[in-house]
Amino acid sequence: MPTLMPGPELTVPTLQGKDGMALRRPSRRMLAIIGIVLVAVVGGAIGVSVVFAPPTPASTVQAYFHHLAEGDTAAAFKLVAHDAGDDLTGSPLLVPKAVADARTRPSHARILRTESRTASTGQEIDVVQVSYKLGHETVTQSIMVTRASGGGSTYLLQSPFLVIGLQSVAGRPVTINGIDVGSDDSDELYAFPGVYTATARGGALIDGSTRSGVIDSGEVTGQPIITFDFAAPTLAPGADAAVQTKVKEHIDVCARSTEDSPDNCPFSVYIFGSELSVKWSITTYPTVAVTPGYDPSSGQHVDFSSQTDGVAHYVATYSDYDGKKQTETGDRSFSVQGSAAASSNDITVNFGW
C-alpha cells in the first residue's frame, strides 16, 4: 500500500485582545446563537415598521369593520367623520346594543379596490369599495374616506352606515334588534353594518308583525339600504268582538237620552210640539264589520260599519199646538259607522256619518 504523507498543517489565526492575550475563537454553537439573535433583531425591526406604518384609506376601512366584528362600536365610531351639530350620536341604532349579539355583526370584510377622486369642492377624497357578510348575505359598499381636519395622516370615513327604512308601521311602536325607534314610517334611520330584525308591536286592535330586512347594496348612493315593510296591518285577535262591545255600549248611552235627536248617536226622530220628552229602547243592536284604518300614522286605529242594521223603539210625549198632551210611539231603523282607537287602557269609538 502506498504510504500517506502528512499534508501541510492548518493554522488557526489567534485573536488578540487589547492586552495581547489570546482570545478563543467562537465555537460553532456560539456562532449559531449569534446568528439567531441577529435574525430576531432584524425581524423585530421589520415587525415594528409594519405596526407603525401610517394608515391608508383602505386600512382605515378595514379597521372600522374589524372593530364592528369585535362589537367595539365606540372604536368604530371614532373612525367616522361628523360635523358640528351632526345628530348621528343621537341615532337610536348607533349604540353597542344594536350589534351586541355576535351573530348580527359583519364578518369577512375584504377591500375590493380604492379609487382617488376630486370632489366638487376641490377636496381630495378616496372611495374604498369593501365587501362583507351580513349573516349569509354578501354586501358590497362604497365608503368615502377623507383626511381628518388639520391634515396629517389620519383618515375618517364619511357615513359608513346602513340606511334603514320602515314602511306600513301603522302607528305601532317599532323595535329594531330590541331598540325602540318610534312609531312612524321612516327612511332615514342610520345603523352600523349588521343583521337587523324589526318588530312592530301589536295591541288590542292591530296585530303585531316581525320582519327581516331586505338589503339593497345602494349602487347609486354607496350606502346599503335595508327596508322593513310590515305590509298592510291586520286586525288583532278579538278586535272585532272588542269593537262590537264598545259600539253596543255607546248605543246604550244614546238610549238613555230623552232628546229626539241625541248628540253623536245613530238614531233620531222628529216630532213637532213643545215639552217634548222621548224614551228610547234598543230592540235590535247592529252588527259591525271592522277593518284596519287607512291612516298609517294613526296608531291602533280601525274603522267599522254596519253589517246589519239596528232598531230603536221610542215613546215620545209632547204638547201639541193646542196645548194637549200627546204620545207617539214607533221604531227607527239605524246603521252605524265610525272609527275606534286603542290606548294602553281602553278602546274608544267615535261615530261618524
Contact 230, 167 (CB under 8 A): yes
pLDDT at 12: 39
Cell of 95: 349604540
Strands 209-212 vs 137-147: parallel, antiparallel or unpaired: unpaired
pTM over 0.75: no
Contact 192, 104 (CB under 8 A): no
pLDDT at 345: 79
Contact 223, 159 (CB under 8 A): yes
Grid look-up 271592522 returns: 290
pLDDT at 52: 59
Cell of 39: 435574525
The dihedral through the CA atoms of 50, 51, 56, 60 has a sign that is positive
pLDDT at 216: 84
Q: Rounded to an integer, what distance in angstroms lies between the CA atom of residue 293 and that of residue 301?
A: 5
pLDDT at 17: 44
Q: Could you tell me the strand order of the sheet in which 174-176 lies? A: 179-182, 174-176, 197-200, 209-212
Contact 312, 332 (CB under 8 A): yes
Grid look-up 287602557 returns: 345
CB atoms within 10 A of CB 240: 18
pLDDT at 138: 93
pLDDT at 220: 55
- Count Cβ neighbours within 10 Å for each residue of 177-199 and write b for 16 or more, e otherwise: bebebebebeeebbbbbbbbebb
* Nearest to 176, CA basis, from 237, 224, 226, 133: 226
The pLDDT tens digits for 252-308 are: 999 999 999 999 999 999 999 999 999 999 999 999 999 987 665 556 789 999 999
Residue ranges for the chain with pLDDT beneath 50: 1-26, 29-50, 84-85
pLDDT at 221: 60
Q: What are phi and psi of 42, to 5 degrees?
A: -60, -45
- Residue 104: DSSP 8-state: G
